Amino acid sequence: MEPILRGRNLVKRYGKVTALDHCDFELMPGEILAVIGDNGAGKSTLIKALSGAVIPDEGTVELDGKPVNFHSPIDAREAGIETVYQTLAMSPALSIADNMFMGRELRKPGWRGQFLRQLDRSRMEEVAREKLNELGLMTIQNINQAVETLSGGQRQGVAVARAAAFGSKVIILDEPTAALGVKESRRVLELIQDVRSRGIPIILISHNMPHVFEVADRIHVHRLGKRLCVIDPKQHEMSDAVAYMTGAKEPDPELSAA
Amino acid sequence: MSTPQSYEAAVAGSPDKVAEFDHGPQSFIQKFQHALHVTPSLVPLIVLVMSIVIFGLLLGSKFFSPFAMTLILQQVGIVGIVACAQSLVILTAGIDLSVGAIMVLSSVVMGQFTFRYGVPPVMGVAFGLLCGLLCGYINGWLVAKMKLPPFIVTLGMWQIVLASNFLYSANETIRSQEIAEKAAFLQFFGEKFKVGGAVFTYGVIFMIALVLILAYVLRHTAWGRHVYAVGDDKEAAELSGVNTDKVLISVYMLSGLICAFAGWALIGRIGSVSPTSGQLANIESITAVVIGGISLFGGRGSVLGTFFGALIVGVFTLGLRLLGADAQWTYLLIGVLIIAAVAVDQWIRKVSV
């Protein structure tokens, strides 16, 4: 099977620091791939290179087997790759509906949309409400509420809903449960599985080993700027994964070849 | 694989309700604070109405007449237009110190092109508008592409534009009679018409139309939402797919263009083309914006608030003059208003929901 998203030989240097050192990456269709690694291993840079936020110095990114050249997150989004950043990338003073449609607003049909470029508020609100309901975020009473008035979990929910609503090829989630409580984390994990069941593959970056081992199909272990190995959570213990990513243990050579 | 972690099983029996808090009886103050949070232009509107009522009570019909009311509109006309430009820039968390200089240079270009090069007045005006647009583009390009702080960029441009203005015009004023004779089109915005006792100029009409158009654009178009998003959190806007460079450049260009229109209105207001006029426009426009409740940190406020802010200054100026007070009282009170407006802004921000 061909990977849907593939990075080959990716290199990214910041001055003297090499954040990505000839790194490979593969995401198979329909899977949840977790990316784990110690702080400073270069996970974020890898994800940014795949989502267009960073332009790699060397190497290629392929989507559906075709090389792509993303110059900005907008390019990646247009290609169907949605990212939920750890910072969530939302404008606090604007409403939930405004935030969900930021950068891809719907205009009214007819002359008001064409000549006055008027936004179709009611359609956007309707779609936003629908998407939030799908994710069981009914606790949000008012879709015109400013995002700054939401709790951390609710904000995360809105950001994930935005990605799920528009991501057609790949969804990237950067630490989606880091700021959440027990129940909210559970809901986000359910949501991740829900998105996968629709056939959309997910890249999940997380430090939470129990969460990673629960939902991931494969685990990409990142160390010192490159892929150390890819492991199957069913055949490995959490302690193995932690040992690999911190360098306490070397993986079998056959794993590294994967 | 999908068995929840064992510690999570303990959660199973917990009630499904999300945390609810006893808000207690919401006091009038809390409700008021909430209303202000949702509609930031309410504060300057209340202050405006109150100041009109107070001056009306003190001065009677001398102040409370269509003539005096429309006189205020005429007096705030130029500052009102420039403040619209300033509002746009401040909403993106920037500041434009060069608005006054761009306004004066544009008016000088309009006058000099018409009188020195003999182009038709309509073309002269067009060149003036182009000049404002170009100055705005330089500001926007430096802010967006070179990533320089707006304060520094526009501080520099203020000096550059003002010096160009004096060099180009050779410090020479084009007299009012001359303009009225040969190029009355330049004074178009100064033309008056009466409705009952009320006196309007086209400049005033332009200002009101501009405020309404900008209010619509900022609220109901994607570009308007992007202006707020850029001011709120530029990085977030960028990541969620807004072309922030384009938004910033377009904002500064539009600001420059509006300033050029203000330059045209300035010719109508003072009659002549003078390179030394309008020196205080940048400070006065920032004053109107701040009193109008737009946050200097960007992303919050409305252009309607700015309009009310400009009117408040106009009401105080005329009201105190009619009362026979020393002009310094006006400045003193406006200073108090500025500080009060920012204090209110901080208070409103404290409330969530």
- Residue A192 or B126, more confident: B126
| Region B294-304 average pLDDT | 90
| Region B126-143 average pLDDT | 97
pLDDT band at B2 (very low <50, low <70, confident <90, very high): very low
User: What's chain B's average pLDDT?
Assistant: 90
Supply the pLDDT for residue B350.
72
Supply the pLDDT for residue B13.
64
Residues whose CB falls within 8 Å of the CB of residue B314, separated by 6 or more in sequence, listed in order:
B72, B73, B75, B76
| Region A203-221 average pLDDT | 92
* A42-93 pLDDT per residue, tens: 888 898 899 888 899 999 999 998 999 998 888 898 899 999 988 888 998 8
Residues of B with CB under 8 A from a CB of A: 1-5, 7-8, 11, 14, 18, 216, 220-223, 225-226, 228-229, 232-233, 235-243, 299-300, 352-353
Burial class, A132, CB count within 10 angstroms (exposed 0-12 / middle 13-18 / buried 19+) = buried
With 0.90 as the threshold, say if the pTM is over it. no
Q: Is the pLDDT of residue A258 over 60?
A: no
CA distance B252 to B143: 9
pLDDT band at B6 (very low <50, low <70, confident <90, very high): low
Q: Does A102 touch chain B (CB under 8 A)?
A: yes
Residues whose CB falls within 8 Å of the CB of residue A258, separated by 6 or more in sequence, listed in order:
A229, A230
From the list B1, B241, B299, the residue facing A214 with the nearest CB is B1
- Cβ separation of A215 and B2 shorter than 8 Å? yes
Burial class, A24, CB count within 10 angstroms (exposed 0-12 / middle 13-18 / buried 19+) = middle
| Region B79-83 average pLDDT | 97
Supply the pLDDT for residue B39.
79
Counted across chains A and B, CB pairs separated by less than 8 A come out at 96
| Region B306-316 average pLDDT | 95
Supply the pLDDT for residue B348.
75
Supply the pLDDT for residue B140.
97
Instruction: Count CA within 13 A, CB hemisphere, residue B27.
Output: 3
Supply the pLDDT for residue B152.
97
pLDDT band at B15 (very low <50, low <70, confident <90, very high): low
Supply the pLDDT for residue A141.
66
Supply the pLDDT for residue B353.
39
Percent of chain B at pLDDT > 90 equals 72
| Region A207-224 average pLDDT | 92
From the list A102, A182, A210, the residue facing B242 with the nearest CB is A102
Q: Is the pLDDT of residue B256 over 90?
A: yes
Residues B292, B76 contacting (CB under 8 angstroms): no
- Residue B353 or B128, more confident: B128
Q: Does A85 touch chain B (CB under 8 A)?
A: yes
* A118-171 pLDDT per residue, tens: 898 889 999 888 888 877 666 666 888 888 888 777 888 888 888 888 878 999
Q: What are the chain B neighbours of A148 within 8 Å (beta carbons)?
A: 352
Supply the pLDDT for residue B5.
61
Supply the pLDDT for residue B41.
82
* A10-47 pLDDT per residue, tens: 999 998 888 899 999 999 999 999 999 988 888 888 98
Handedness of CA B124, B105, B263, B90 (dihedral sign): positive
Percent of chain B at pLDDT > 70 equals 92
Domain boundaries, chain B: 76-283+296-302
- Residue A193 or B147, more confident: B147
pLDDT band at A255 (very low <50, low <70, confident <90, very high): low
Supply the pLDDT for residue B19.
47
Supply the pLDDT for residue B322.
92
- Cβ separation of A91 and B223 shorter than 8 Å? no
Write out residues 111-150 of A within 8 Å (CB-CB) of B.
116-119, 121, 139, 145, 148-149
Instruction: Count CA within 13 A, CB hemisphere, residue A235.
Output: 7
Q: Does A11 touch chain B (CB under 8 A)?
A: no
Domain boundaries, chain A: 5-94+151-257
CA distance A146 to chain B (A): 8
Backbone φ, ψ for residue B11 (5° rounding): -75, -20
- Comparing alpha-carbon positions, the chain A residue that sits nearest to B3 is A214
Q: ipTM, 2 decimals?
A: 0.84
From the list B4, B225, B239, the residue facing A85 with the nearest CB is B239
Q: What are the chain A neighbours of B250 within 8 Å (beta carbons)?
A: none
- Residue B205 or A41, more confident: B205
Handedness of CA B216, B220, B222, B225 (dihedral sign): positive
CATH, domain range A5-94+151-257: 3.40.50.300
CA distance A85 to chain B (A): 8
From the list A104, A119, A162, the residue facing B221 with the nearest CB is A119
In angstroms, what is the C-alpha Rg of chain A?
19
